[in-house]
């Protein structure tokens, strides 16, 4: 009888505690903040496409925050960085307010996740801390004072302090990507080489060059106006506890429908894997069935990932 009573009481306690447990979503979505609003690129299209790619993966919920336009009052731009798992930078324009600079640095220094996308690495040439967050940048007056050039010779990094401007690119084209670290969570399981859709290839970038893990490089063919060097294109950045993913790919086309660099399944896959890693330190997504091969570009014309 004693045992029977004990069982009843235990069952009652379990029932009550179950009813008190709040309902938790099984797979809560990661929260991304896309920052845009000024850029020498077609930011009006790129920020919407970034949101589409992130959200169609079903992994992210992405908010967009636009800065005031050029010359506007930056005091009105106050992102709540701490509310997000990852901040995606699609911004190249006026300097933010001191308060926003400070809030961004605090978010990053506390171990925040950041994705540096394409021309976001042109921004803020004179902001020393920002340049450490991106590791390499281009244009906007960058030169030998910004830091060395970084490129590969026989697969090994060379830091080159030769004087000269930072940032250039040859003609847009399709080009092969070369994997430099197949063990990183972002690259694990992806093929060693893959062909990227028509895009710019940034070269002669300069900066503190505090690259943590170089993931992909590409050869900037001098015959097509490139540097003639093997250039770093996708990497993570060594910056304290922060998880920073820098992807130089993705020059935005005139419309979402005519945007091969961002319609490339390879670009989308790397963006998503990099964003997941920046948000969580892990990559759980499977390699998609439409990932480009070494010789063949693959495109998602409507940005829809395949149903694996």
What DSSP assignment string belongs to 27-40?
Answer: SPPEEEEEEES--S
Under a CB-based contact definition with an 8 Å cutoff, are residues 222 and 228 in contact?
yes
- Nearest distance in Å: CB 235, Zn ion: 18
Residue 260 Cβ, how far from Zn ion at the closest point, in Å? 13
> With respect to Zn ion, which residue has the nearer C-beta, 198 or 206?
198
209 backbone dihedrals φ, ψ, rounded to 5°: 60, 30
User: CA-to-CA distance for 297 and 193, rounded, in angstroms?
Assistant: 11
Is residue 168 within 8 A of residue 203, CB to CB? The reply is yes
- Which phi and psi angles does 136 have, rounded to 5°? -135, 140
Chain residues that interact with Zn ion, rule: CB under 5 A: 200, 251
Q: Which is nearer to Zn ion, 118 or 180 (CB)?
A: 118
Instruction: Give the torsion sign (CA, 147, 143, 267, 192).
Output: negative
Q: How far is the CB of 98 from Zn ion (least distance, A)?
A: 29
Report the nearest approach of Zn ion to the CB of residue 227 (Å).
16
- Least Å distance, CB 200 to Zn ion, is 5
H or E segment and range at residue 46: helix 43-56
Nearer to Zn ion, 243 or 246 (CB): 246
Closer to Zn ion by Cβ: residue 41 or 300: 41
**Closer by beta carbon to Zn ion, 81 or else 235:** 235
Q: CB 217 → Zn ion: shortest distance, Å?
A: 18
Burial 106-145 (b: 16+ CB within 10 A, else e): ebbeeebbbbbbbbbbbbbbebeebbbbbbbbbbbebeee
Closest CA to 78 of 65, 63, 89, 90: 65
C-alpha separations of 138 from 47, 165, 228, 302, 306 in Å: 20, 8, 17, 31, 35
Which CB atom, from 85 or from 200, has the smaller least distance to Zn ion? 200
* Residue number closest to Zn ion, CB atom: 251
Please report the beta strands in the chain, taking only residues with DSSP state E, as ranges in sequence order.
30-36, 60-66, 86-89, 113-117, 149-153, 156-160, 168-169, 173-179, 193-199, 202-203, 211-219, 230-237, 243-247
Supply the minimum distance, in Å, between the C-beta of residue 118 and Zn ion: 6
Instruction: Tell me whether residue 46 or residue 146 sits nearer to Zn ion (CB atom).
Output: 46
Cβ at position 252, least distance to Zn ion in Å? 7
Of 37 and 79, which CB lies nearer to Zn ion in the complex structure?
37
């Amino acid at each position: 009888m004693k045992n029977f009573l004990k069982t009843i009481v235990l069952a009652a306690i379990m029932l009550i505690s179950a009813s008190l447990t709040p309902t938790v979503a099984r797979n809560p979505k990661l929260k991304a903040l896309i920052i845009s609003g000024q850029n020498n690129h077609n930011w009006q299209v790129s920020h919407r496409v970034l949101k589409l790619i992130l959200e169609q993966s079903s992994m992210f919920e992405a908010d967009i925050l636009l800065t005031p336009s050029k010359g506007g009052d930056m005091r009105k731009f106050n992102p709540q960085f701490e509310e997000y798992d990852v901040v995606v930078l699609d911004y190249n324009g006026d300097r933010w307010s001191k308060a926003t600079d400070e809030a961004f640095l605090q978010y990053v220094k506390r171990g925040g996740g950041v994705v540096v996308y394409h021309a976001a690495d042109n921004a803020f040439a004179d902001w020393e801390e920002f340049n450490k967050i991106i590791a390499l940048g281009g244009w906007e007056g960058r030169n030998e004072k910004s830091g060395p050039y970084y490129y590969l010779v026989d697969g090994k990094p060379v830091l080159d302090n030769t004087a000269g401007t930072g940032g250039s690119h040859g003609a847009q084209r399709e080009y092969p990507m070369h994997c430099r670290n197949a063990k990183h969570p972002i690259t694990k399981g992806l093929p060693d080489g893959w062909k990227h859709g028509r895009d710019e290839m940034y070269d002669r970038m300069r900066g503190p060059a505090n690259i943590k893990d170089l993931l992909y490089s590409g050869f900037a063919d001098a015959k097509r106006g490139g540097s003639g060097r093997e250039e770093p294109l996708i990497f993570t950045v060594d910056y304290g506890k922060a998880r920073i993913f820098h992807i130089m790919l993705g020059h935005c086309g005139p419309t979402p429908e005519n945007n091969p660099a961002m319609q490339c399944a390879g670009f989308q896959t790397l963006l998503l894997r990099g964003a997941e890693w920046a948000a969580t330190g892990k990559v759980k997504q499977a390699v998609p069935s439409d990932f480009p091969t070494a010789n063949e570009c693959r495109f998602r014309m409507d940005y829809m990932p395949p149903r694996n």
